[in-house]
A and B are shown apart, each in its own frame.
Chain A
Amino acid sequence: MLLLAINMTDKTDVLQGTLDLMVLKTLDTLGTQHGYGIAQRLQQVSDDLLRLNQGTLYPALLRLEQRGWISSKWGTSENNRRARFYTLTRAGRRQLQREADDWQRMASIMSRLLGEPGTPS
């Protein structure tokens, strides 16, 4: 299900929201991070099951920033390169909380629904 979602990232709002939630959570976990770092982290936690066109992160990051959930500024990376670093804002943290709750609720509904035994054919 997750795989499917990522392949269709920019197709629907719900799925766009999924990517937003993943980015917000990643920044929550890692703290300030650049785009590459966020992509690596997503790859890592999904055990490479997630085939993400990593470039699609950038329009998403821009959107999150426009909504005031993250902020960014230019800085220097661990290998001394110029990179843009993203930080979760307070509004972003609240948003993360809200979306995570929604996601949990939906996931539990889905797992309950899918867990029901089918009728014997």
Chain B
Amino acid sequence: MTARELWRRFAGALGRGPRRGELDDELTFHREMLEADYRARGLDGGDARRAAALALGGGAQIAEAWHDQRSLPLLDSLRQDIVYGVRVLRRSPGFTLSALLTLTLGIGANTAIFTVLDAVLLRPLPYPDADRLVTVGDRGADGDSTNIGWATMADYRAGSRSFDDLALMRSWAPTLFADGDAEALPAVRVSWNYFRMMGVHPAIGRDFTADDDRPSHWHVLLVSDGLWRRRFNADPSIVGRVVTMNDVAYRIVGVMPPSFEPLDAVRYFNARAELWAPIGYDLQGDSSCYSCRHLRGFGRLRRGVPPGQAAAELDTIRDRIRREHPTEIDAASVAVVPLRRALTGAVQRPIYVLMGAVAFVLLIACANVGNLLVARSVTRRQELALRAALGAGRRRIARQLLTESALLGVGGAALGSLFAVAAVRALAAAAPVALPRLEHVAVDARVLLFTGAVAMITAVAFGLLPAWRGAAADGRESLASGGRGRVAGASRTRAVLVVADLALAMVLLAGAGLMLRTVAALAVADPGFTADRVLSAQFSLVGEAYAEDAAVRAFQSQLLQKLRAIPGVATAALADQIPFGGNDDCRGFHAVGHMKANPEEDPCIERYGVTPEYRRLMNVPLVAGRDLLESDTDTAQPVILISQATARAVFGFDNPLGAQVRMGSATRGPWATIVGIVGDVHHADVTAPVTAAMYVPEQQLTDSFLVAVVKTTGRDATTVAGPVRAAIRELDPKVPITQVAVVPDLVAGAAASQLFVTRLLAAFAAMAVLLAALGLYGLVSYGVTQRTREVGLRMALGARRGDVLRLVLASGASLVFAGVAVGLGAASLTTRFLGALVFGVSPVDPLTFAAAAALLCVVALIAHWLPLRRALRIDPAIALRSE
């Protein structure tokens, strides 16, 4: 068949092209000409007509062959099926509406969650050959790569053959001062080959060169497209312009294209980088050592090299470094992690859990619609038997029934997609900020393809059974019985579907219950400090004005005075970081008498530089020794407090009080004396073990990145946010303030992903229970209606309402219990996939499971009670006459 013929036949199927009447005209002409011809040869009228008809052939066959040629027979019968199907569905609007609604919910929820999954986990990162991009560093506890030292990476670069390129990045917080406002910009310093490795090139200007990435040569800048438009009015001749940040002059060498996504900054520094400058280290630099692990490593794997192989190669290089510099690097293995996993690993589980949950909802929807269809196929037996008697083949009838299911599926998919578009917007708004790449969430062609596939699979799944049953219907029996009577097979099928419904709903309910308990446990989990009524404001003292420690100290004491003077503020303190503030400052902890042979293997302890009031303000208990005092100044003997976890980890049963400690380097710096032991706190995650910590007087550190914390007398700490901001501004308007938040919000933010999953799971579970209840209600009311006569008979014979109730409920109870039992089994197998999302409760918590089962039983009872009550109200005399 040529393409042209196919096209014309396709048009013919849609009613275009020659009409049937034209063929008739042609055939009539032909016959009359033949007749005239035969008459001319001497046949009389009747014989000539017969001879002509014989020569022409059977009219019906010709017309059929012509018709088949005119259009596509398959398409034609499909069109018939669809037209007929639509008519059938319109004739029973109640059924169609409930089926469509069920499918819309099922398919819509699936489309919405798949949209998120697709955007976050499946779609390739927006870099050329992004699957070869990896992060490189020492293996962390969760298998991710952690920080790396400059010298280590230099050795990797020199010795490795697994990579096309290896690059480095470090955090950077420059402050751009313009228009009277200081703006701290999210920025990173990168090795010169970073952009080359990522496969992107500046849209304007040039990329960094190796020459830029040397000490004292690094004062060059690449800016993001967004910053270029926002702060530089999209100036096309920006290259060469000099800007001053932190009192240092930088020359802008280029602008990145708008399509460039600096993803890396999201995960590691909580904001998208808008500025890039070279790192500018060399081997002699103070920050270049093997143990100076403050850099992030990235790499582009050579084509065909798997990450595991690359990691094994780097391991051998790392071992060599360790042999050559035994005291500068600890024993660890190297992790080479695909960039996508590094970026989205944390959200993978919640998303897959939700995908699983919506799949369950869809299964319930399928079971329900299947249920409806089976029920309908029983009442349609007469119609189907009639069609079979009139010569419709089994396959033809099955196809017709499947077409009806497909119509429902397509309708459900269309409505579901609309539902999904709205749902995805709501999801994006409600999602925790940590969900990366969410700005790419959109219902697009890929997603619609998925929806279409889901809809078709759904249609076949719920339509196949009734289609098969309908086609198998015994014609004679159905016609003779007038379509009446119970059909044992059908009710058995429906019983199985109801058990499936209940079991699936049970699993979702159990999952939602566990997440609810998790959220409850998180809410009461003790972070180790009291965050109520505490507000924090992050700011940084940078630039020439704060080059001297004395200036920083002066600013600190003036600010504390101002903060304490704010009405409503009870106490105020300063810290260089606070728990749940989004920062880390882990330092090697080297205590005299408790050092490892290789001091690099001494534990890393979280360091908080604080003013003396901090401990009391945060309500961290003092367990032993003394507090930090105002007298612990930069000129006094260095002192520290340690947490109980630190005491246990480093000193065991020994008394830590009075011990001498070096922080960071074991060989350099002053020794500090441990003067007190305080309670433990969680640094970033209440579900993780407590964080080993130490507290150092801020006066002895003079950090320039600071957090002001104030405790208010009133309940609502947000009321002093303005005055706190103003107090910092009054002292120096050039100081950038990066984050102002009440601490309880920061703590709650850490549990955001659990809350998000909980809310959605609860919604899906509610959906599932509702659908299951509807399915159950349908089955029971159908059964009860069928038994109306029987109920009437029993009542007439003197049975009491209680007897009848017991009879019907007993048969229903077995189904419900079967469903709940299967569901309990399935739930105990599946809830373990919640994994680390569950906190403070066992994934097979008996109480939660029992509560879910009880709730489901109550719902089932209601679904039974409503139709039964109706049946019992009917007068026995009328009931007897029913059917």
Contact = CB atoms under 8 A, between A and B. Distances in A.
Interface of A: 10, 34-36, 39, 53-56, 58-59, 62-63, 66-68, 77, 81-84
B57 A66 contact: no
A15 B69 CA distance: 16
Nearest to B54: A53
B52 to A, nearest CB: 9
Interface in B246-263: none
Nearest to A78: B33
B327 to A, nearest CB: 85
A34 B34 CA distance: 13
A55 B69 contact: no
Contacts of B68: 59
Contact of A53 (B4, B34, B57): B57
Contacts of B56: 53-55
A68 to B, nearest CB: 5
A81 B70 contact: no
Contacts of A36: 29-30, 33-34
A58 B34 contact: no
Q: Which 7 A-B pairs have the closest CB atoms?
A: A53-B57, A55-B62, A55-B57, A59-B65, A66-B8, A66-B5, A59-B69
Contacts of B5: 63, 66-67
A85 B57 CA distance: 21
Nearest to B53: A55
B55 A54 contact: yes
A62 B57 contact: no
A1 B388 CA distance: 43
Interface of B: 2, 4-5, 8-9, 18, 22-23, 25-27, 29-30, 32-34, 55-59, 61-62, 65-66, 68-70
Given A36-B34, A39-B30, A58-B62, 8 more contacts: A53-B58, A54-B30, A54-B55, A55-B57, A59-B66, A62-B18, A66-B4, A67-B2
A15 to B, nearest CB: 14
A83 B27 CA distance: 10
6 contacts: A55-B27, A55-B61, A58-B23, A59-B68, A81-B29, A84-B25
Given A35-B26, A82-B29, A83-B26, A56 B62 contact: yes
B29 A62 contact: no
Nearest to B66: A59
A84 B55 contact: no
Contacts of B27: 55, 58
A72 to B, nearest CB: 8
Nearest to B5: A66
A27 B65 CA distance: 22
Contacts of B32: 81
Nearest to A37: B33
A84 B22 contact: yes
B482 to A, nearest CB: 44
A43 B59 CA distance: 20
Contacts of B9: 66
- The majority secondary structure among interface residues of chain B is helix
B164 to A, nearest CB: 55
A67 to B, nearest CB: 5
Contacts of A58: 23, 26-27, 62, 66
B57 A54 contact: yes
A54 B35 CA distance: 13
Contacts of B62: 53, 55-56, 58-59
Contacts of A77: 29, 33
Contact of B69 (A34, A54, A62): A62
A60 B642 CA distance: 97
Given A36-B33, A53-B57, A68-B4, A62 B70 contact: yes
B577 to A, nearest CB: 79
Contacts of B70: 62
A35 B32 CA distance: 12
A66 B6 CA distance: 8
A63 B4 contact: no
Contacts of A39: 30
A58 B30 CA distance: 11
Nearest to B70: A62
Given A36-B34, A67-B4, A56 B29 contact: no
Nearest to B11: A66
Contacts of A68: 2, 4
A58 B2 CA distance: 19
A89 B61 CA distance: 28
Contacts of A66: 4-5, 8-9, 69
B875 to A, nearest CB: 66
A55 B18 contact: no
A63 B12 CA distance: 12
Contacts of B2: 67-68
B30 A35 contact: yes
Contacts of B33: 36, 77, 81
Contacts of B22: 84
Contacts of A35: 26, 29-30
B274 to A, nearest CB: 62
A84 B19 CA distance: 13
Contacts of A54: 30, 34, 55-57
A58 B56 CA distance: 10
Contacts of A82: 25, 29
Nearest to B59: A55
Contacts of B29: 34-36, 77, 81-84
